[in-house]
Amino acid sequence: MSSHRYAVFGHPVAHSLSPRIHAAFAQQAGIALEYTAIDAAPHDFVAALDRFADDGGAGANVTLPLKEAAFAICAQTTDRARRAGAVNTLTRNDGQWHGDNTDGAGLVRDLTGRHGLDLRARRALLLGAGGAARGVAPALLDAGISELIIVNRTAERADALADALGEPDRAHSRYWRDLGDLGDFSLIVNATSASRQDQGAFTLPFHLATPRTLAVDLNYGEAAIPFLAWARAAGCHDAVDGLGMLVEQAAEAFEHWHGVRPDTDPVYAALRDRDKVLVTAD
């Protein structure tokens, strides 16, 4: 029985690029690594995680729709996971799961490092309040945005996220129906699953954007097409999908587990070149 098994849990998860990314990182570092994708519906997640641990599971990534459930089962969590109320990285320590959230760090590293974008003083709109939104919201505030408006179709979830962030002067929740009355934003982040469920047009008021706006979709590939098409039609200055964030958040987890910081640029370039059409977001 191996003591060095790793996996990504999600539902669905067959599409996940995480096994390919971690295999590339392991090859760089000269580490023998077993990393697989495990499909676990929300009602079976805890049992599936227990089976994984019993079989030598040392760490796991967690993707949609399990990030908040992962937070709930952790014996210990990092500060950034607690601020998010969601976990995307699990580590087995002394028979217990310890949780972290590397999504926000991955997003900021991709935007500021790879794309050379400055997030400071931007007025930001966050679409969605689920596990993906929770992962990035604290990091956006830490990166120096001036204001964060959270809009979700279920208003109570937006309210809960705004309250959890603990910055009432900068983080606010609004109703989806208010989108036409919120003014414009220099950063718009799509953290919803709407594009995955409906591959049609992504409908938002164009006046939310200006020629200075950075539009970011946490999805990548086909799932990001509708929102990025809206961003281009709205005249946004920059439109970025979530592939770089995916690679960077994986690097954070890999370094935590193995003590080695991988070089993300060749992995990102290979995925961008090899997979012109990817499937969805982790």
Question: Do the domain assignments include residue 90?
Answer: yes
pLDDT at position 198 = 53
Binding-site residue ranges? 16-18, 63, 79, 88, 103, 128-132, 152-157, 218, 220, 242, 249
What's the alpha-carbon Rg for the chain, to the nearest Å? 18
Q: Are residues 40 and 166 in the same domain?
A: no
- Phi and psi (nearest 5°) for 62? -130, 130
At 280, the pLDDT band (50, 70, 90 cuts) reads very low
Please tell me the pTM assigned to this model.
Answer: 0.93
Question: Do the domain assignments include residue 237?
Answer: yes
b (16+ CB within 10 A) / e for 192-214: bbbbbeeeeebebeeebbeeebb
pLDDT at position 193 = 80
How open is the CA angle 33-39-41, to the nearest 5 degrees?
145
CATH assignment at residue 232:
3.40.50.720
Edge-first strand order for the sheet with 187-190 is: 171-175, 147-152, 123-127, 187-190, 214-217, 238-240
- Which residue among the candidates 5, 22, 67, 83 is catalytic per the annotation? 67
Q: Are residues 46 and 162 in the same domain?
A: no
Binding-site residue ranges for NADP(+)? 79, 128-132, 152-157, 218, 242
Question: Do the domain assignments include residue 282?
Answer: no
| Of 201, 190, 132, the residue nearest 161 (C-alpha) | 132
Residue 194 has pLDDT above 80, yes or no: no
Question: Do the domain assignments include residue 261?
Answer: yes
Q: Are residues 116 and 12 in the same domain?
A: no
Question: Do the domain assignments include residue 279?
Answer: no
pLDDT at position 74 = 98
Percentage of the residues of the chain whose pLDDT score is greater than 70: 93
Q: Are residues 234 and 259 in the same domain?
A: no
Residue pLDDT, tens place only, 1-29: 344 899 999 999 998 999 999 999 999 99
Q: Are residues 152 and 251 in the same domain?
A: no
Residue 199 has pLDDT above 80, yes or no: no
State how beta strands 89-93 and 57-62 pair. Answer: antiparallel
Q: For this structure, is 67 an active site residue?
A: yes
Give dist(CA 134, CA 86) in Å, integer: 6
pLDDT at position 2 = 43
Q: Are residues 89 and 167 in the same domain?
A: no
Average pLDDT over the chain, rounded to an integer: 93
pLDDT at position 1 = 35
pLDDT at position 196 = 53
The amino acid at 263? D
Residue pLDDT, tens place only, 131-169: 999 999 999 999 999 999 999 999 999 999 999 999 999
Reported as half-sphere exposure (CB side, CA atoms, 13 A), residue 76 has a value of 8
Give dist(CA 171, CA 83) in Å, integer: 13
List Cβ neighbours of 59 (8 Å cut-off, separation of 6 or more).
6, 89, 90, 91, 92, 253, 257
Q: Are residues 58 and 128 in the same domain?
A: no
Binding-site residue ranges for shikimate? 16-18, 63, 88, 103, 220, 249
Percentage of the residues of the chain whose pLDDT score is greater than 90: 89
How open is the CA angle 191-251-1, to the nearest 5 degrees?
110
Residue pLDDT, tens place only, 110-136: 999 999 999 999 999 999 999 999 999
pLDDT at position 200 = 56
Q: Are residues 110 and 233 in the same domain?
A: yes
Q: Are 249 and 218 in contact (CB under 8 A)?
A: no
Query: Domain limits at 202?
Result: 105-243
| Count of H-run helices and E-run strands, the chain | 11, 12
Question: Do the domain assignments include residue 233?
Answer: yes
Residue pLDDT, tens place only, 63-91: 999 999 999 999 999 999 999 999 999 99
Q: Are residues 221 and 118 in the same domain?
A: yes
Q: Are residues 144 and 187 in the same domain?
A: yes
CATH assignment at residue 268:
3.40.50.10860
Q: Are residues 114 and 178 in the same domain?
A: yes
Q: Are 15 and 279 in contact (CB under 8 A)?
A: yes
Q: Are 101 and 88 in contact (CB under 8 A)?
A: yes
Question: Do the domain assignments include residue 131?
Answer: yes
pLDDT at position 4 = 80
Question: Do the domain assignments include residue 174?
Answer: yes
CA distances from 65 to 9, 10, 13, 45, 211 (A): 9, 6, 10, 10, 34
Number of domains in the chain: 2
Residue 51: alpha-carbon gap to chain centroid: 25
Q: Are residues 158 and 185 in the same domain?
A: yes
